[in-house]
Each structure stands twice: as C-alpha cells, then as structure tokens.
Homo-oligomer: A and B are copies of this chain.
Amino acid sequence: MKNKLKVAQFGLGPIGVECLKAVSSLSWARIVGAVDNDPNKIGKPLSELGQKGAFRTLGVTASIEGLREQPDLVFHTAASRFKIAYEQLLPLVRRGICVVSSCEELVFPSLREPRLAGNLNRICRKSGARIVGTGVNPGFVMDLLPLCLSGVSQEVRSIRVGRVVNASTRREPLQRKIGSGMQPKAFTRLLRTGQAGHAGLRESAALLAYSLTGTTGRIRETGEAVIAWHDIQTRYLRVRAGETCGLHQTAEVKIGRKLQVILDLKMYLDAEDPHDVIEVGGNPPICLLIKGGVAGDQATVAALINTAPRLLKAAPGLKLITELGLA
C-alpha cells in the first residue's frame, strides 16, 4: 500500500466519476480524495457518488488544500477551456503534483494562450510536476493516431480525418451540446461564433500540423447544424424533422506546399455507420478505418488512465501527448 501512487480526482462530472471508479481498480494507485466546486457535492462521501472502494468514506473537498494527503497525481476533468484549467491547476503544479487532464484546449495549450502555457511549463520544471492534456477527441482519433500512422509514410503532404459519431448512443449532456432541437440557423450562428460546438478541433489540427512540420499555420474552421430529416426520439430528448439534430464541424490547416490537414467531424442523432477514417497522403498512402469509431466515456477514461504511467516517465514540464512514449 505504501508504494502505491496517491491519486486524487479533480472534477466530478460524469467523466470524473467514471475515472475515479477506474482508478479504484488500479493496482498501482491509491485514492486520497476528490475535488469539485459544486456546493451540492462538497462534503458528501464518495459513496454517494457511486464509489465503492476503501476510499468511499472520503468526503468531496472544495479545493486541493482540503485533501488530508497530498496526491502524487491528479486526474483533472473540470474544464474545457485552458484559461479556466490554468487557474485550477496552478495550486497543484506549484506543489509538484502531476496532472493528466481531459481539458480539450490543454491538448495544445499554446495555441490560444501561449503566455499561460509558458508559465505553466516553467512552474512545472521548477517544481518537478508534469502536465498533459489527453482524451479521445482531441487527444487520439484526430491527432495522435494520424501522427502514429504517418510514421510509416514518406513525404506526407496531406492528412484527412473523418469522424462520424452517432450521438443517440451518448449521454444527455452531449445530446444537448450538439444543438438537438434548436432551429438550424440559430445553432449554426452559435457554432460560427464559437458559442457552441465540439471543443478541441482547432487543437487537434494544430497539434498534428505542429508535430509534422514544427509550425501550426493558420487554422480555418467551418461549422453548421445537421438537420433532422425525420422525427427523432432518444432516451433523453425529442427532435422534430427540420430541427437541429447535431453538428458538422471542420478544421483545415495548410502549411505552404508542405502539408494540408483536414479534420471533418459529424456528431448527430441517429447517425448511420459511425466510424473514424484516416487518410495519409504520402509514400505509401495509407487509409485506416475504425468501424463504429472510438467513442464513449469509457474510451475517454481509458485515455486518461493509460496516459498516467507514460506521463510519469517524462521529464518535468507541460507536455504534449505526442511527446510521451507509448509505454
């Protein structure tokens, strides 16, 4: 027990709760607590959140300072925006605590906040902490996996990733997030002004371009509502024909004549043939297909958990998932 890694969970939304459950069955980890800023959760024993391990009597605390023991490692699932995650992570990093985060913008933090990313990296190096952002998308399907694939192709000039997610099989917050039931024009407007939509597509495009060429280039994005052709009834909501039933977003990067990256994401209700497809335009060209696609909260939790041992082997600093070894 003594040599086990002390782990805390930061953020107790659906992914955080699942992550904590997964950590409880790891041979190398011991849970020392959980943090959330929701007044309805603070103080509650973890057993009330469905947790079953020896740690189930531990209460949810409002901050990392409230934990009885300092963790070695924190799984962070409390923000999509790097700016917000930055404030949450600062106290951890100053204490030398390592962090694996599902924060979408943390997959390539210097894209939107180069100054904050630089700060965080400096503090990590000083304290010995390591931070990385990971997940399925961003963090795998549209960045890490195409990069891995391009490793066996010469003169890669283009990478196209297409992803279709059937949102009907996903949880309620995701079905709402994709605009279900909204008027298409209104939702498209929200998408184009960045007030709605899938977070992290820019980050995937930037990470891929940066990993292959050393620069991120200019990223162009598009977004539009997917319109229901018939009435749709899911476990959580109802959409009428003509209303929004999902989103279609793309991100494109062009680095001169060197590289073109096109990411194409569709998430909508009752999507047929969900899949991930990756086309590497190089010598040889390669086309990879994952039928059904890598999707679901379990895959996201897996990405978080499996990244931890890889992060702990890296030198201190703010890391990109592409910089870590695979084992």
Contact = CB atoms under 8 A, between A and B. Distances in A.
Contact of A291 (B145, B148, B289): B289
Interface in A296-311: 296, 298-303, 305-307
A286 interface: yes
B212 A302 contact: no
A268 to B, nearest CB: 20
Contacts of A136: 152
- Give chain A's interface residue range (CB within 8 Å of chain B): 35 or more
Contact of A326 (B295, B306, B326): B326
Nearest to A136: B152
Nearest to A150: B306
Output the residue of A145, A153, A296, A325 with the most chain B CB within 10 A. Answer: A325
Interface stretch (A29-37, A70-78, A242-250, A316-324): A316-324
A151 B211 contact: no
Contact of A151 (B153, B296, B303, B320): B303
B152 A302 contact: yes
25 contacts: A136-B152, A144-B151, A144-B326, A147-B326, A151-B302, A151-B307, A151-B326, A152-B294, A153-B299, A153-B302, A154-B301, A154-B305, A211-B326, A211-B327, A284-B298, A284-B302, A286-B290, A287-B290, A288-B289, A320-B327, A322-B325, A322-B327, A323-B325, A323-B327, A326-B326
B301 A284 contact: no
A292 interface: yes
Given A22-B154, A153-B298, A153-B302, 15 more contacts: A140-B151, A145-B148, A145-B149, A147-B327, A150-B306, A152-B299, A152-B303, A284-B295, A284-B299, A286-B290, A286-B294, A320-B327, A322-B325, A323-B327, A325-B325
A53 interface: no
Nearest to A207: B327
A163 B306 CA distance: 26
A138 to B, nearest CB: 12
A283 interface: yes
A45 interface: no
Contacts of A288: 288-290
A282 interface: yes
Given A148-B148, A151-B326, A325-B324, A284 B296 contact: yes
B326 A148 contact: yes
Nearest to A300: B152
Interface in A247-290: 282-284, 286-290
